Amino acid sequence: MKYVVIKTGGKQYKVSEGDVIQVDRLLEDKDGTVNFNEVLLKVSDGSVKIGNPFLKGEKVSGKLLSQVKGDKIRVQKYKSKVRYRRTTGFRSSLSKVSIDKI
């Protein structure tokens, strides 16, 4: 099994070829090519390479499928005895990326 761990948007993702992942919004156009140069770990046929902090010369390329919005998160504030209640919401902007080549 061949997979890598990449870093994008302050988060780490374990991906292999053919996976579709949702990452924080990328600024590329739809159907554009996306390159992830920050590869932290690579596992291929039982051999493991670990970067310090990144592997040099390794990159992962993918195709941007669409820009979507995540699920709504409701945030509520409450203070007892003073009738204070506030509800706000948040939806994150995400990008769907199909991993093509490691």
pLDDT in tens, 47-91: 988 888 888 988 999 999 999 999 999 999 999 999 999 999 999
**pTM exceeds 0.75 for this model:** yes
Residue 30 tokens read as 């739809």
Contacting residues for 31 by C-beta, under 8 A, at least 6 apart? 63, 64, 65
Say whether pLDDT at 3 is over 80: yes
In this structure, the dihedral spanned by the alpha carbons of residues 19, 6, 69 and 72, taken in order and rounded to 10 degrees, is 110
Looking at residue 58, its pLDDT comes to: 87
